[in-house]
Amino acid sequence: MKNPFSNFYHVFTSKELLDIAFKRAMKSSARVSNNAPILLKAKKKEAKRIKVAIKELIDRILGIIKMVPIIEELPEFYIELASLLVDKDKLRLTLGKLNGILPVLSKIEREYLSSLKKIEKPNEGDRIRRAVFGRASSIINKQNKNLVYLNNIRGKLREIPSIDYESPCVVCAGAPNVGKSSIVKYISTAKSIDVQEYPFTTKKLIIGHLEVERRFDTIRLQIMDSPGLLDRPISKRNNIELQAILALRLISDLILFVFDPTPSCGYNIESQINLYNEIKENFSDDHIEILPILNKKDLASEKEIHYLKEKVGLDNKQLVLTNALTGENLEFIKDYIKNKFIESN
Ligand SMILES: Nc1nc2c(ncn2[C@@H]2O[C@H](COP(=O)(O)OP(=O)(O)O)[C@@H](O)[C@H]2O)c(=O)[nH]1
Ligand SMILES: [Mg+2]
C-alpha cells in the first residue's frame, strides 16, 4: 500500500495563495468587442478579474481540504500512528475553519459583482475590484496560521512509512543504542538508516526490504527499524517509543529483539531483560515469534553472555550472537528470516 499521505502536497501560505490568485486575475481577459463602450469594457474586465480571483482561491482551498486524508478511514496502524503524530481534533477544526471561509468568499463575489453592474464611471470598476481583493486578502490572511499548521502536519504524516499489509513484517526492537539500526541496515535494503553513537537517533519507523525467493514466487519482506524502547510503563513512554510499540502491536509478524549485554549502550542488562519480558508477554503469541539477538559480541564478556542466557532462560541454540559492525552472524539472521517466511503461506 502506498503511504496514504503521499498525495498530501505542500500547502501554500496565505501570501502565496493570494499572489497566485491575484496574478491569475490580472492576467485574465474578458471577452468584449473592441467597439463596446468604455464603461461596458471596464465592467466586463473587472468582473472577470473578480471571478477569476475568487474562483482560484476557492478551488485552491478546496484542493487543500480534499488532499488531507480522512484519518478515521485508514487502516488501524495508520490511524494510531497518525494520532500519535497529530492532534486529530485540531486537524478537524482547522479544516472546518478553512471550509467556513468558502461561502464568505462567494458572498463577497456576489455583492461586489452586483455593485459593479451599477457603476457609472469606468474607474469605479477598478475601485470595486481593489475592494474585493482587499476583503479576500484579509479573510485569507486570517487563515495563515491554519495553512501553516496543515503544512507542518503534512511534513509529519509523510514520514510514516508505507506498509504493505499483504507481506510479512519483521520489526527490530530493543533498548536505545543496542545496534538495531545497524542490524536492519545490514539485512535489508534500508541503507540510509542513521547509525549513531547516541541513543534515540532513530526517531521514527523506517522500513527496508528483504526479498525471499520461493519456489513459485518472490516475496518482499518488510524489515522495520524502530526507535529504542525504555523499560517503563506505557503511560511514561514518549511519542517516539510509542511508535515502536504500535509497530510491534499492529504489524509485526516476527520481532527481532536486540540485546547489548555490555555497558556500552548505556542501559543496563536488567532493564533490557524487563523490556524483553514485557514485549514477549504483550506482543508475541502463537503467530508472532520473538527472536532474541545478543549484539556487540565483540565487546561482550563470557560472563555477560552467560548472565543474559541464564536470565532470559535461553540455551545456546536460541540465542544468536552478532557483531553488527562486522556483519558476523547477520547472514544467519537473514537466512533465519527467509526460511521462516519461505515455509509460511
Ligand atoms: N562494538 C560494536 N558496536 C556496535 C555493534 N552494533 C552497533 N554498534 C555501535 O553501537 C552504536 C549504536 O548503534 P545503532 O545501530 O545506531 O543502535 P540503535 O540505537 O539500537 O539503532 C553505534 O555507534 C554502532 O556503531 C557491535 O556489534 N559491536
Ligand atoms: Mg536506531
Q: Is the CB of 177 under 6 A from ligand 1?
A: yes
* pLDDT for 136: 98
Which 8-state DSSP code applies to residue 11? P
Q: Is 7 a residue whose pLDDT tops 60?
A: yes
Confidence band of 160 (pLDDT split at 50, 70, 90): confident
Q: Give the mean model confidence (pLDDT) for residues 215-230.
A: 91
Dihedral-angle region of residue 290 (phi above 0 means left; psi in -120 to 50 means alpha; beta otherwise): beta
CA of 199, nearest ligand number: 1
User: H-helix or E-strand containing 257?
Assistant: strand 254-259
Residue to mutate, 171, 172, 177, ligand 1, most ligand atoms under 8 Å from C-beta:
177
Q: Is the CB of 324 under 6 A from ligand 1?
A: yes
Q: Is the CB of 261 under 6 A from ligand 1?
A: no
Residue nearest to ligand 1 atom 7, measured at CA: 179
- Nearest ligand 1 atom to the CA of 194 is 16
Grid cell in block for residue 300: 561482550
Q: Is the CB of 201 under 6 A from ligand 1?
A: yes
Q: Give the mean model confidence (pLDDT) for residues 316-332.
A: 90
Confidence band of 165 (pLDDT split at 50, 70, 90): confident
Q: Is the CB of 230 under 6 A from ligand 1?
A: no
Q: Could you report the per-residue pLDDT of 137-151, keeping only the tens digit for each?
A: 999 999 999 999 999
Please tell me the chain's helix, strand, coil percentages from 3-state DSSP, rounded to the nearest 5: 55, 10, 35
The residue that leads in pLDDT, 215 or 338, is 338
Residue nearest to ligand 1 atom 2, measured at CA: 296
Return phi, psi of residue 172, to 5°: -95, 120
CA of 183, nearest ligand number: 1
Rounded to two decimals, the pTM is 0.84
User: H-helix or E-strand containing 139?
Assistant: helix 122-142
Q: Give the mean model confidence (pLDDT) for residues 42-51.
A: 96
Q: Is 196 a residue whose pLDDT tops 90?
A: no
- Nearest ligand 1 atom to the CA of 183 is 15
The share of the chain scoring above pLDDT 90, in percent, equals 71
Q: Is 46 a residue whose pLDDT tops 80?
A: yes
Ranges of each domain in the chain:
14-157, 169-343
Return phi, psi of residue 21, to 5°: -65, -45
Q: Give the mean model confidence (pLDDT) for residues 109-138.
A: 97
Confidence band of 30 (pLDDT split at 50, 70, 90): confident
Distance of alpha carbon 227 from alpha carbon 210, whole angstroms? 20
Distance of alpha carbon 110 from alpha carbon 329, whole angstroms? 73
- Lowest average pLDDT, out of 18-32, 108-122, 192-206, 263-277, goes to 192-206
Distance of alpha carbon 115 from alpha carbon 60, whole angstroms? 26
Q: In what order do the strands lie in the sheet with 289-294?
A: 206-213, 218-225, 169-174, 254-259, 289-294, 320-321
Q: Is 260 a residue whose pLDDT tops 60?
A: yes
Q: Is the CB of 248 under 6 A from ligand 1?
A: no
Q: Give the mean model confidence (pLDDT) for residues 238-246.
A: 89
* pLDDT for 32: 84
Q: Give the mean model confidence (pLDDT) for residues 108-122.
A: 97
* pLDDT for 285: 80
Beta strand pairing status for 206-213 and 218-225? antiparallel
* pLDDT for 327: 96
- Nearest ligand 1 atom to the CA of 174 is 20
Q: What is the mean pLDDT of the chain?
A: 92
Q: Is 161 a residue whose pLDDT tops 60?
A: yes
| Contact status, residue 258 vs residue 178, Cβ threshold 8 Å | yes
Residue nearest to ligand 1 atom 14, measured at CA: 179
* pLDDT for 308: 92
Per DSSP, the three-state class of 233 is coil
| DSSP H helical ranges for 202-322 | 239-250, 269-283, 302-312
Does the structural domain 169-343 have CATH classification 3.40.50.300?
A: yes
Cα distance between the two ends of the chain: 20
Q: Give the mean model confidence (pLDDT) for residues 221-248.
A: 90
Grid cell in block for residue 199: 541513543
Residue to mutate, 191, 325, 326, ligand 1, most ligand atoms under 8 Å from C-beta:
325
- Tell the CATH topology of 14-157: Four Helix Bundle (Hemerythrin (Met), subunit A) (1.20.120)
Q: Is the CB of 182 under 6 A from ligand 1?
A: yes
Q: Is the CB of 61 under 6 A from ligand 1?
A: no
- The alpha carbon of 139 and the centre of ligand 1 are apart by a number of angstroms equal to 53
* pLDDT for 49: 97
34, with CB counted inside 10 A (0-12, 13-18, 19+), is exposed
* pLDDT for 239: 86
Residue nearest to ligand 1 atom 13, measured at CA: 179
Q: Give the mean model confidence (pLDDT) for residues 91-97.
A: 97
Beta strand pairing status for 206-213 and 254-259? unpaired
Q: Give the mean model confidence (pLDDT) for residues 197-202.
A: 80
Q: Is the CB of 227 under 6 A from ligand 1?
A: no
